[in-house]
Structure 1
Amino acid sequence: MTTTVPTARAAGPAPSAVRLGLSRGRLELLRFFRNRDAVVFTFALPTVLLVLLGSVFGDVYEGTGVSASQVLAAGMIAAGIMSTTFVSLGVDIATDREDGTLKRLRGTPMPQAAYFVGKIVLVTVTTVAQTVLMLAAAVLLFDLALPGTAQRWATLLWVFTLGVTACSLLGIAISTAARNARSATAVVQLPYLALQFISGVFVNPISALPAGLVAVASVFPVKWMAQGFRSVFLPDAMVAFEAAGAWELGRVALVLGAWCVAGLALCLTLPVLGSANRR
């Protein structure tokens, strides 16, 4: 009697880092939306600040018909992006490092890139949702006009994309500065809050700020995101209230693009997935 030994089937190609990252992103989203406290805080805080501050500062800029609350709304979108990307990633990755998540992932076949793709999926979805929520509040409560031309919608798209990319990469990089999860919040909140004040988010027009503070803010992405969003949602009459008297969209793209490159370089050189036992 002849015994037939079954031959093993050839293994298929290993899933790509992008495919694994998308699966990881789905898990990140499920974990996020199951945490009701995180959901409420992430989405409610910027919108509540917008509603409160917009209700307080209701003055109209002379000769423009634009209210201070409408200017605030445009700038608050930039602050919201930084919150859901830079702040969230800085804290989340530091937490994953301390609780052993990163150590366990290093022991699996999953490529490191898939972990970061998953995080980017998470912050992209939450940032889009938060931006839509803030715009809805601004339109309903403060009569903010949505872009009226295809060109302005295109500007909204590229400013949003570059802003999310730059702030996400910087959030990943700054997570290495936190010694543990408890200190991560302080590490990311200081630049987050400081940049909002000196970048013309809370103080409008930005030309009212001291020139030295505007010069410092001009180095960082928030000022340029806010300026780009103001060019989208506000009439051209408001350009006179910008620090340079112009929207400077070319410079907006240049600075945000430069921070995307710098953020990527930092992520590639810093020990983002470093020891889970750092103290």
Structure 2
Amino acid sequence: MNAPTTNPTNPARPAPERSTRLPGTFRLGLSRGIVEIRSFVREWESMIFTFSMPALILLFFAVIFDDMFDINMSAVDYYLPGLIAMGLMSVSFQTLGVAVATERDQGGLRRLRGTPLPPASYFIGKTVLVLFLAVGQVALLLGVAVLFFDAALPSGAESWVTVGWVFVLGTVACALLGLAASSLARTAQAASAVIIVPFLLLQFTSGIFVPVPALPEWVFNGAALFPLLWMAQGLRAGFFPDEMASMEVSGSWDLPLVALALGTWCVVGLVVTLATFRWKTRKDG
């Protein structure tokens, strides 16, 4: 009986091992961001209210206040930068703060923390959502202003660069402020008072509806502690002609001060968020 032989030219190959490497934090964050966007879009009532409110205010102001003020500028052109700033804070500070507080109260954050999803991926996902909402908000406001009222847009590359960095710094600062403020709300119902009420007050004290020179000094000084006033001032610098700087409190756009204020809020918001963010409610321990 012959012994079995092996073919040296065709050795047995080991079965290929399946890769067990998980996707990276950034990739998981992008996937989480897509989920966040889909979830937001499905709530069409909230989506319509979030996007339409600044545009509706712009339409009302265009009809009511046009030719009322002697500033050689239409009401749409005057209010557009401030309403863009308001819209950016709405989709970052307000929307994010209320959403995170609701997720925490309903146990969504606690359950998510028990999954392999890295915490950083959760915040990347929220960043993707905020950027999506911010770009959509600005596009809608500019579209309404240009298509219906022939609004004047920034005229040069330098003005657009100013609008760009104010957009980025302001949105990041307000988003971090919203994350930090979400931890102040004990319940989802309390989030409306904790987040929306201060936001409404800031709209009337930050030069959005009322011209900055008309504000009492103590009101202006209080509003200057928060990013909305500086966002509005930076956007006015990008949209308005240079001679309109005389209407600011200091008589100039003070763009270095705007950058410093918004950059400081980005740092402060990040530090406060890292120090105070909670995955569980206080009643859960």
Aligned to 1:97: 104
* Alignment of 1:226 onto 2:256: no
Please give the TM-score of this superposition, normalised by the length of structure 2: 0.91
Equivalents in 1 of 2:243, 2:154: separation in Å?
15
Aligned positions of 1:168-207 closer than 5 A: 168-204=175-211, 206-207=212-213
Equivalents in 2 of 1:276, 1:18: separation in Å?
30
Q: Is the alpha carbon distance of 1:61 and 1:241 closer, same or farther for their aligned partners in structure 2, counting shifts above 3 Å?
A: farther
Pick from 136, 140, 158: which aligns with 1:151? 158
Equivalents in 1 of 2:102, 2:123: separation in Å?
14
Which 4+ stretches in 1 moved above 6 angstroms?
none
Aligned positions of 1:1-279 closer than 5 A: 9=17, 11-59=19-67, 62=70, 64-204=71-211, 206-275=212-281, 277=283
1:17-76 C-alpha deviation (Å, 9 max, x unpaired): 1110000000111111111111111111111112112321113654x5212332111100
* Structure 1 residue 277: Cα displacement: 4.6
Please give the TM-score of this superposition, normalised by the length of structure 1: 0.93
* Structure 1 residue 247: Cα displacement: 0.5
Equivalents in 1 of 2:251, 2:50: separation in Å?
34
Give unmatched runs, 5+ long, in structure 2.
Answer: 5-11
Question: Pairwise CA RMSD of aligned residues?
Answer: 2.1
Equivalents in 1 of 2:280, 2:242: separation in Å?
48
- For 1:177, what is the secondary structure of its paired residue? coil
* Aligned amino acid, residue 227 of structure 1: Q
Equivalents in 1 of 2:261, 2:94: separation in Å?
20
Equivalents in 1 of 2:104, 2:282: separation in Å?
5
- For 1:153, what is the secondary structure of its paired residue? helix
Pairs aligned (count)? 276
Equivalents in 2 of 1:60, 1:253: separation in Å?
33
Asked if 2 retains the 8 angstrom alpha-carbon contact of 1:163 and 1:256, the reply is yes
* Structure 1 residue 10: Cα displacement: 5.7
Sequence identity (%): 45
Equivalents in 2 of 1:277, 1:121: separation in Å?
30
Asked if 2 retains the 8 angstrom alpha-carbon contact of 1:162 and 1:260, the reply is yes
Equivalents in 2 of 1:272, 1:167: separation in Å?
18
* Structure 1 residue 14: Cα displacement: 2.7
Larger Rg: 2
Asked if 2 retains the 8 angstrom alpha-carbon contact of 1:98 and 1:276, the reply is no
* Structure 1 residue 272: Cα displacement: 3.0
Give unmatched runs, 5+ long, in structure 1.
Answer: none
1:213-245 C-alpha deviation (Å, 9 max, x unpaired): 111111110001001111111111211111111
Deviates more, 1:129-138 or 1:19-28: 129-138
Asked if 1 retains the 8 angstrom alpha-carbon contact of 2:105 and 2:280, the reply is no
